Amino acid sequence: MKRINVLLFIALLVACFTLKAQDPWKITADKPNPANYYGVTIANGMIGIVSSAEPFKVKNIVLAGAYDQYGRGRVSNFLNSFNLLNMYLEIDGKRLTAADVSNFRQELDMRHASFKTTFDYGDKATITYTYYSLRQLPFTVLANVSIKAKKAVTINAASVMEAPDALKEVQNYYNEIDRPHVTISLLTSTAKSPTGKLQLCASTSFIFKEAHGQEPRVIHEMWDNNMHLMKFSKKLDQGETYNYAVTGSSITSAHHSDPLNEAERMTVFAKLQGSDRLLAFHNQAWDELWKSDIQLGGDPQSQQDIHSMLYHLYSFTRAGSPFSLSPMGLSGLGYNGHVFWDTDIWMFPALLVLHPEIAKSLIDYRFDRLDAARRNAFSHGYKGAMFPWESADTGVEETPVWALSGAFEHHITACVALAAWNYYAVTQDKEWLKEKGWPILSQTADFWASRVERNGAGLYEIKNVVAADEWAENIDNNAFTNAAAKVNLQHAAAAAKLLGIKPNPDWSLVAQNIPVLKMENGVTKEHAGYKGEGIKQADVNLLAYPLKVITDPVQIKKDLEYYEGRVPDEGTPAMTQAVFALLYARLGNTEKAYHFFKDAFEPNLLPPFRVIAETKGGTNPYFATGAGGILQSVLMGFGGLDITPSGIVQIGSKIPAQWKSLKITGVGTEKKTYQRN
């Protein structure tokens, strides 16, 4: 009875979300409840701004690539940056708070990555402000503010710079650059990370519409070492609308050798561009991203949800970045901002088929840390390159000691290799394959050749691992690990042939003798000691996709029917049901595929913006890993896209009855369009 009530509650919650969620590009929250509020992220692949239900506040600012240790597991952690977008507004001497406003409304515009808040302050004013993490400027943000006076009022508006608690040795600066054509007020802060490893800096400036000499006078106030502000006053007539903006930049010594001056330089650059030009370039950049899109007919809620998933993956990444993706992207400090197999297996493929130039940044991140992977293999007594289960800035193992996955979840090495091979397959870029792909593929193959225990024909075993199903710890011959190692070895040999290099003959020998076990009923066995236990997440089913080691539809169906019943209703990550959806779509069972497509994320949605938690009933959004898996169920499942050694093709599959059509645009390097009706 308790389980039925929980499921009923979830169904009612989802129904409530669905009532107004029909716009394919905008998610709106009318009068959101601060006590049940999970912020949405505005990001540009470098800076993430997490929304708040409090007027003129943001929850936090997350900056990609900023890691240091500060007491959580003795490993590197993501750091919050300076909160450079907090503001306040006073009207006739009264500072506005949530208790003072009415008609409070927030809206995420996914097409152009903006977050707008609108509210009324009694009979005195209507206020609107909109945040942007500027796509064309990786370290720069913008907030546009509009105040419409319902009667004559005096406003006092402030831009507040706050330092997170973890930072130390905070120093605050304020200066004005006075030129004949412009005056620039700079509110700047700098601090050290907890161990002193990094210098973090941020700077902001007002952007006014008035001509030079007519803009408001800016005043600086220093409250304490962790907060200072700049503010101005303005009298407004009844019916007058006044607009101003705050732009700012945040950067660290992980990104630039002179972050303090660079933060101010980038802020000056944005200030002198002006709001209109900044937004024009920002919108243009997002228009380019959305040329690669997934368009559904007949199911507006699913269309909005798919756009949300794409929006978040696009927001959390960017071409040319030296950083990769964590499971929570730039939505917070979840999983310490570390990089797992979540990137290579779950998020990378969707980005690869839609934006290969973004996917390149993710696999180049792995190449840049290949030396660290070689040292990791050496320290464990193996050859080649062994990638860490959790990676941060340097590429060394960053898994907390209490988690056994760091020492034993070795399948990550084959996951990295699969991403490298698939990047070549989609782009057919032999220069990249020679320069970066081959070193990854060959050295990971060398790892597996040294990792197996050679116990006879068909018994080159891989013992003592943590499975892809992480509830199975220190077990032997895990299905996914063994099959992924086999694929890694085969792809290394294929790459050698393409490049005219003689492959190590041992690779083929090892690949042929790695076992994939079966149970008496013919179902693929998850590991040597498996006896039908519940599983945390997909393992055996990944052998059909993405590994393609199991290709017989009868076997795929048998494995699906067995393992889908061994995933609990709660407490497991969203990716598993996404794989079930993908495989059932390829088998032609669209009813089951659609069920698992919905089951992968709808019970995980949180108010008021339908952000995805990691698990059903979880509260830690945004789970970008799950979004990546669900997008694969649409692209590679219902859409039938398939990555082959010669590029992307479309194989047989069907769309569910709830959809009238499925159109995928901007696919691959040639930006092709694929359709299903």
- Residue positions annotated with a catalytic role: 470, 614
The CA distance from 447 to 415, in Å, is 13
Per-residue CA distances from 369 to 17, 250, 269, 404 (Å): 42, 25, 33, 22
CB 68 within 8 A of CB 350: no
Helices within 317-410 (DSSP H only): 341, 348-354, 356-368, 370-379, 405-408
CB 347 within 8 A of CB 365: no
∠ Cα 238 242 247 (to 5°): 160
CB 53 within 8 A of CB 34: yes
The CA distance from 541 to 575, in Å, is 12
Per-residue CA distances from 174 to 89, 187, 447, 589 (Å): 20, 5, 54, 64
- CB atoms under 10 Å from CB of 273, counted, come to 20
CB 84 within 8 A of CB 141: yes
Q: Length of the chain in residues, anyone?
A: 677
CB 155 within 8 A of CB 56: no
First and final CA of the chain: distance in angstroms?
Answer: 41
Run of H or E including 235: strand 227-236
**Would you put residue 647 in left (φ > 0), alpha (ψ -120 to 50) or beta?**
left
Per-residue CA distances from 642 to 235, 352, 546, 586 (Å): 61, 12, 10, 11
SS3 540: helix
The CA distance from 397 to 387, in Å, is 8
Closest C-alpha to 319, from 344, 278, 288: 288
The CA distance from 48 to 91, in Å, is 30
Which residue reads 């294929």 in tokens?
A: 494
DSSP track, 602-630 = GGGEETTTTEEPSBTT------HHHHHHH
The CA distance from 272 to 547, in Å, is 51
Burial of residue 9 (number of CB atoms within 10 Å: 0-12, 13-18, 19+): exposed
Per-residue CA distances from 527 to 404, 469, 517, 522, 551 (Å): 17, 10, 7, 14, 20
CB 89 within 8 A of CB 78: no
The CA distance from 674 to 677, in Å, is 10
